[in-house]
Amino acid sequence: MVEIRFGEHTVLLNEGESVLDGCLRNGLHIPHGCKSGACQSCMLIADEGNIPVTAQKGLKNTEKDLRYFLSCQCIPQNTLHIRQANQMQDIQHSRVLAHGLINKTVLQLRLEPVFTYKPGQYLNIWQKVDNEKTECVRSYSIASVPEIDDFIELHIKIIDSGKFSQWAKNHLRIGDTLQLQGPLGQCFYAAENPEQPLLLIGVGTGLAPLIGIARDALQKGHSGKIDLIHAAREAHSFYLQNELGNLVRDYPQFNITYVCQADDQTAASASPYRVNGDVYAYVKQHFPSTKGMKVYVCGAASFVRKISKQVFLSGASSRDIHADSFLPCS
């Protein structure tokens, strides 16, 4: 009999029984739908043990990398240690290694790397602000690359009335400790082939995961074209332009375009890569067909929804669209 460990529970599978059926028979609650491997609602994670190939059929590469599997299609040969796919990780303590504004509204934080991650994933920060009165939880995407950087880099957008961002800007100092939870999310580099064109589109601090994904792809030898489009309302909101310029210089396959959404003439003349106008129109004009591309989109939820739909309708497969949307918070 094959044994399944699920938290403190142990389930013994009958001959030919799926992980889902075994767990349900033992009264464990697992969301499920079609029981045929199509709807993916019974997806779980196996931290240990061999996942049968059939249990990952139809999953994205990113999901396979994270050891997700479909419990209804999983008839394992050996013991598996499994958990819910959305279960929260433990809190880890990490010290602040660097802290500084990189433009008027973005705070760059570098933290001690206390867990392994894939660039583009995100983490949660749990922090008491207002003299310990309010506990905030905030999600930030990871801009660094573990193989290159010996820190975790985050870009914190400073919001005028933002509890956490104001606290981080005014009170957080190098050497302080933050409570982190992560890594989370599936917005990271996992191209099926190194020649597939990548299209990365981000607004504001949506640049953070994209710069991580671009550098990760380049260091993994991605040879296909990589087009990064960074949109912002005003010209002064662009940041890390030197770093991006260096990538353009070092890697012929890498391109950057800054799209300034306000009509700012000084912006257009300031940089050879910069254009004025609407990001949706820019993408439509310059990428009339997104067929065969892998697309990453990051920013506010309304932007992510609209641009995902646009690139899907212009040809990208739904499986090739990776999105990371930021929730509004105070």
Judge contact between 143 and 216, C-beta under 8 A.
no
Choice between 35 and 225, CB closer to ligand HEM:
35
- Going by C-alpha positions, the residue among 72, 96, 84 that lies closest to residue 22 is 72
Kindly state the smallest distance separating residue 33's Cβ from ligand HEM, in Å: 3
> Counting contacts by CB under 8 A, is residue 325 touching other proteins?
yes
Stretch that binds other proteins, among 159-167, 249-257, 281-289, 309-317 (CB under 8 A): 309-317
> Which of 7, 14, 34, 54 touches ligand HEM (CB under 6 A)?
34
**Residue 35 interacting entry, from ligand HEM, other proteins, none, C-beta within 5 to 8 Å by type:** other proteins
| Contact set for ligand HEM, span 35-74 (CB under 6 A) | 39, 41
Specify the residue, 36 or 242, whose C-beta has the smaller distance to ligand HEM.
36
Report the partner that residue 307 touches, choosing among other proteins, ligand HEM, none (CB closer than 5 to 8 A by kind). Answer: none
Question: Whose Cβ is closer to ligand HEM: residue 7's or residue 33's?
Answer: 33
Q: Are strands 198-203 and 294-300 parallel, antiparallel or unpaired?
A: parallel
Facing residues of 127 across strands?
Answer: 136
Nearer to other proteins, 152 or 199 (CB): 199
User: Which of 86, 160, 176 minimizes the C-alpha distance to 128?
Assistant: 176
What is the closest distance, in whole angstroms, from the C-beta atom of residue 311 to ligand HEM in the complex?
21
Considering the complex, what minimum distance in angstroms separates the CB of residue 72 from ligand HEM? 11
Q: Could you say whether residue 329 binds ligand HEM (CB under 6 A)? A: no
Q: Judged by CB under 6 A, which stretch of 6-14, 33-41, 52-60, 308-316 contacts ligand HEM? A: 33-41
Nearer to ligand HEM, 85 or 114 (CB): 85
* 9, 12, 33, 219: which one binds ligand HEM (CB under 6 A): 33
The whole-angstrom separation of Cα 323 and Cα 296 is 6
Please, which of residues 29-88 interact with other proteins by CB under 8 A? Answer: 33-36, 38-41, 58, 60
Measured CA to CA, the distance from residue 186 to residue 65 in angstroms comes to 10
226 binds, among other proteins, ligand HEM, none (CB under 5 to 8 A by kind): none
The residue count for binding ligand HEM (CB under 6 A) is: 4
Where do contacts with ligand HEM occur on this chain (CB under 6 A)?
33-34, 39, 41
Where do contacts with other proteins occur on this chain (CB under 8 A)?
33-36, 38-41, 58, 60, 301, 304-305, 308-309, 312-313, 317-319, 321, 323, 325
